């Protein structure tokens, strides 16, 4: 009798977990938001768009928010399932992956503090954006 309750309870739990957004979908949504946040920065870097401190701050805020959550979205077992390009290295080299996220976090904070005008923006952003490729090179599979 007790067993039956436990079984029903576990089934319910599993169903609830499946209803919540999967970590794979969530982390992909964060990466997509980073792409959207980078677009205006790159346009300003290239001079295709006038510099706007407000917009820069907005993009940096997107990075900061996504970055804080990102590392938590790789629970054991989320290396497969839906379509994911996450490299097995995220789990095999968890310390390195965490360090890459920390590095980005530190540099976002530094950029938030130092960018005050177009000159400081142009001096800071290229190095900040190097984090994207550096992390993808190691922890994302090519597709």
Q: Which positions touch other proteins (CB under 8 A)?
A: 28, 31, 34-36, 38-39, 42, 83, 85, 87, 129, 132-134, 136-137, 139-143
Q: Kindly report the backbone phi and psi dihedral angles of residue 10, in degrees, each rounded to the nearest multiple of 5, phi listed first.
A: -65, -40
Q: Considering beta carbons, is residue 89 or 105 the nearer one to other proteins? A: 89
| DSSP string of 71-134, one letter each residue | GGG--TTTTSSSS--B-THHHHTHHHHHHHHHHHHHHHHHHHHH--SHHHHHHHHHHHHHHHHH
Q: Considering beta carbons, is residue 115 or 131 the nearer one to other proteins? A: 131
Q: Considering beta carbons, is residue 70 or 139 the nearer one to other proteins? A: 139
Q: For the CB of residue 12, give the shortest distance to other proteins in the complex, in Å.
A: 32
Q: For the CB of residue 138, give the shortest distance to other proteins in the complex, in Å.
A: 8
């Amino acid at each position: 009798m007790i067993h039956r309750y436990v079984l029903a309870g576990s089934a319910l739990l599993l169903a609830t977990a499946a209803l919540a957004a999967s970590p794979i979908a969530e982390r992909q949504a964060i990466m997509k938001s980073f792409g959207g946040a980078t677009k205006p920065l790159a346009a300003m870097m290239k001079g295709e768009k006038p510099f706007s401190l407000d917009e820069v701050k907005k993009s940096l805020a997107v990075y900061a928010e996504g970055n804080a959550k990102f590392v938590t979205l790789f629970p054991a077992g989320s290396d497969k399932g839906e379509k994911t390009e996450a490299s097995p290295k995220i789990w095999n080299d968890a310390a390195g992956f965490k360090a890459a996220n920390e590095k980005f976090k530190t540099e976002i904070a530094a950029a938030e503090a130092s960018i005050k005008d177009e000159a400081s923006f142009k001096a800071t952003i290229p190095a900040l954006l190097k984090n994207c490729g550096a992390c993808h090179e190691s922890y994302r599979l090519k597709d």
